[in-house]
Amino acid sequence: MTVLLVDAANVVGARPDGWWRDRAGAATRLLERLGGLVGRTVTGPDGGPLTCTAVVAVVEGRAREAAGPPAVEVVRAAGSGDDALAAEAAALAAAGRPVLAVTADRGLRARLPGTVAVTGPGWLLARLDEAAG
């Protein structure tokens, strides 16, 4: 029973598919795909089963305009997306909720509470591709 906490900019930027031409559109597409993971059990980063109970995605900059499905909690960072994600991770961890943060940002990873597991965008993109398959 894990909350996926997604650094949307980092995940969108992991695939050079032209996302820079329409940041809000790229974020909206990611959010729509993330909605399909809520309630599903997928292969976790460690190879074991991971049940995704919720998805929280942090968007920043022009991507704050992105529309997300009701199943995804969208945090629209007023400033730094990293600050917003670190705050969300701390709040979820303080509430005792298991969290898997998705980011490749080493500086951000270092700011997360020790109880928060971390994986990179490649893992998430593979799970999203499987779900769409």
Domain holding 77: CATH number? 3.40.50.1010
Strand-pairing partners, residue 51, are 41
Q: In the chain, how many domains are there?
A: 1
Give percent of the chain with pLDDT exceeding 70.
99
- Print the domain residue range for 30: 2-132
Residue of 93, 92, 89, 56 whose CA lies nearest to 71:
56
In this predicted model, what pLDDT tens digit does every residue of 118-128 receive, in sequence order?
999 999 999 99
In this predicted model, what pLDDT tens digit does every residue of 3-61 receive, in sequence order?
999 999 999 988 878 777 888 999 999 999 999 999 999 999 999 999 999 999 999 99
φ and ψ at 78, to 5 degrees? -70, -30
